Structure 1
């Protein structure tokens, strides 16, 4: 385990600040990589792998490391699963339309759709945070979401907070993937540390 306050010569801030800066850099890189939309799962998986490396060996995250992880994950499976985020957006648009409509059952359907979208987002985040051999497995993401309710609740708080920040401060949108990937990675690392026999 790396020392808690390892600093390079001339470095002013400690490792906690370095990790924060790495998270912001990874967030920006992930935001750019998400622009084609179908690359969203691969971009988040690359972010998680980069942050996992940073947490594991203390090496600072870099553009080259992120691009290497991204290239390794730009395969047919992750690109196909990249169609799911636009589907979630479509579900949320339907949800918003139901809230504004006077259709019978709209009051009950709108929260149900919102919870479904939140649940799918949490499972997706957990799936992208997986390390080998479960890399980008929606099934394993669902299993861990159910088996680790504490971690799922943490992500259930992180996702709406990210949405609120994006709505209230749009300038933060390019950086928000970093904290989300960081949260998903931290939750997965805690889960695997608590239950090593599952891996």
Structure 2
């Protein structure tokens, strides 16, 4: 009598578990995304909120730790430092740059056709490097390390750029999805960093 093929460890289910581990990770990502969205409301807490999300998802993916609100809050408290709050001024500045960029596109100023794409690409680059920094382990986290890794891993950088552009398009076209977008972005940063570490 033929036996059913054994499922790989990632697809095995505990007794009574309806969904596999992949769906559980997806649900954790959405839940962490909601918590991150709430933590981002003061704006200057955005870097700390994303690094806490990445740390929580890293624990969940790597060690099977539950992605509970308590775990996320613990990571968030550890990252709410004067340094991360100072870096939290960067996202509002990026938004300001994008508003200036949009004004340039609508204007007839000389050089607007060149400046508008340049500002958009610069903003995208800063967002990707910043997002990559949130996926790094705490001892490695710095703008310089993030920039080095972004240059050394162009594939991962392109993946993060695509994630940022897609998130921006979704936020613009379906604003109701905005509270859920931090989760996939943090997950993308974490996955790219884990892949980069594994390849290295």
Task: Give yes or no for the alignment of 1:103 onto 2:109.
Answer: yes
Quick one: which of 149, 153, 162 aligns to 1:157?
162
1:35 maps to what in 2?
41
Deviations 1:153-179 (A, max 9, x none): 001111110011111111110000000
Deviation of 1:133 (Å): 1.3
Equivalent pair of 1:38/1:83 in contact (CA under 8 Å): yes
How many residue pairs are counted as aligned between the two chains? 193
Structure 1: 5+ residue runs without aligned partners? none
Quick one: which of 8, 13, 16 aligns to 2:19?
13
Q: Name the TM-score, length of structure 1 as normaliser.
A: 0.94
- 5 Å matches for 1:20-169? 20-135=26-141, 137-169=142-174
Cα distance in 2 for residues equivalent to 1:114 and 1:132: 29
Quick one: which of 182, 187, 193 aligns to 1:182?
187
Deviation of 1:134 (Å): 1.1
Q: Name the TM-score, length of structure 2 as normaliser.
A: 0.94
Cα distance in 2 for residues equivalent to 1:86 and 1:132: 24
Equivalent pair of 1:18/1:60 in contact (CA under 8 Å): no
Structure 2: 5+ residue runs without aligned partners? 1-7
TM superposition outliers: structure 1 runs of 4+ over 3 Å = none
Question: What CA RMSD, in Å, does the superposition of the two structures yield over aligned residues?
Answer: 1.1
Cα distance in 2 for residues equivalent to 1:183 and 1:156: 10
